[in-house]
Amino acid sequence: MPIDLLRHGKTTAGSAYIGSTDVALTETGVEQMQYSVDQALANGQRWDLIVSSPLMRCANFAQTLATELGLDLQVERYLAEYHFGDWEGQTALQVMDKYPGKLEAFWQDPVNNVPRNGEDLIAFSLRVDQLIDTLNNQYADKQLLLICHGGVMRYLLSKADQQPINAMLNYPVEHGQLVRLSK
């Protein structure tokens, strides 16, 4: 059975790299997520379980949605976003100014150009894989909604297309976007 992935909406951090930084959604961010959920429900989509990142930009919406739909919520730390290290809280322009050439190198080859003090991309992919494997084993017959982050979604989409991990940055994922991923 497929898994649905819902990216959090816009946050109070604007366009900064927030990764593991815990920031709230804006009102627009909540509306973006609610719109995607409402569209899915209007098209007959139903879920058996909601699984969320522990970061508030996902978990707060997940809790509200689980309550509204009468579903269980499982919060999973392995669903948290990629940690950008020294780039956390900075915009792309700030990173380019402070660390010349590093952002461009990351976008070209993120495996070999991890931000200083950032999460190793292979370790990131392994923790996400471990969670997906666990969910598949525990809930093989259930329809899941994972409320997560752009990095997690990009990685899972690239993996589903059998692309190397470096290709994950080629997958655009909008705030509040809901996509279906085959298990």
What is the identity of the amino acid at 68?
E
Q: Give Cα 138 to chain centroid, integer Å.
A: 21
User: The dihedral of CA 94, 99, 102, 106: what is its sign?
Assistant: negative
The model's pTM: 0.95
Tally the domains of the chain: 1
| Domain span holding position 108 | 2-182
How far apart (Å, rounded) are the C-alpha atoms in residues 52 and 65?
11
Q: What is the pLDDT of residues 136-163, one digit of tens each?
A: 999 999 999 999 999 999 999 999 999 9
Helices (H), the chain: 27-42, 56-69, 92-98, 102-108, 121-138, 150-160
> Each residue's pLDDT tens digit in the chain (183 positions)?
689 999 999 999 999 999 999 999 999 999 999 999 999 999 999 999 999 999 999 999 999 999 999 999 999 999 999 999 999 999 999 999 999 999 999 999 999 999 999 999 999 999 999 999 999 999 999 999 999 999 999 999 999 999 999 999 999 999 999 999 975
Q: How far apart are CA 129 and CA 3, in angstroms?
A: 13
- Residue 128's Cβ-count burial label (10 Å; 0-12, 13-18, 19+) is buried
CATH number of the CATH domain containing 168? 3.40.50.1240
Return the DSSP state at 16.
S
How is residue 11 written in tokens? Answer: 């946050």
- Cα separations (Å) of 136 from 4, 7, 44, 80, 133? 13, 20, 23, 18, 5
